[in-house]
Amino acid sequence: MTEQPRRYLAPGVLTQHVFNRTVAVLTRCGISLMGSRVLTVVGRTSGQPRSTPVNLLTIGEARYLVAPRGETQWVRNLRAAGNGTLTYGRHAEPFTAVELSDAEKPPVLREYIRKWKWEVGYFLEGLDADSDDAAIAAAAPGFPAFRIDSVYD
């Protein structure tokens, strides 16, 4: 059995050097752009902390991180570490992460798309919040997602 290729869409220069840095600075200053946080995870090979802005999705009492670009470095690092820190302003919250199975992802992906399509629509490859369940389920393997559990709970 061969492993399926992993989906990854590299960030452009503007995203990597302007947008991500701007969002991270604003979030660290306490200005959240629709739920933005700065995710910090220990690098799986370097052992050094690595940070990137992410969109924290809340559905009811549960919180999630979704990787619209696929198998990013932060996804690989979070899988390896199993925990990290989400920062907003002066508040840094340590957490543990549980990766969702493909079967668990569709309602999370639908809500993520509904909330952030304006920002990440380019990465969604034709999906929108009104896509049928089969289309979202078929795309689920390409969108890593994690449930975030506070270490304080």
Q: What are the residue ranges spanned by the domains of the chain?
A: 13-150
Look up residue 82 and give its two tokens.
């199993």
Tell me the CATH number for domain 13-150.
Answer: 2.30.110.10
Backbone angles phi, psi at 10, to 5 degrees: -65, 145
pLDDT in tens, 52-97: 999 999 999 999 999 999 999 999 999 999 999 999 999 999 999 9
Rounded CA separation 146/39 (Å): 13
Nearest of 152, 37, 151 to residue 91 by alpha carbon: 37
Please report which confidence band the pLDDT of residue 9 belongs to, taking 50, 70 and 90 as the band edges.
Answer: low
pTM of the predicted protein model:
0.86
pLDDT in tens, 14-60: 666 676 777 777 777 787 777 889 999 999 999 999 999 999 999 99
The total of other beta-carbon atoms located within 10 Å of residue 151's CB is 10
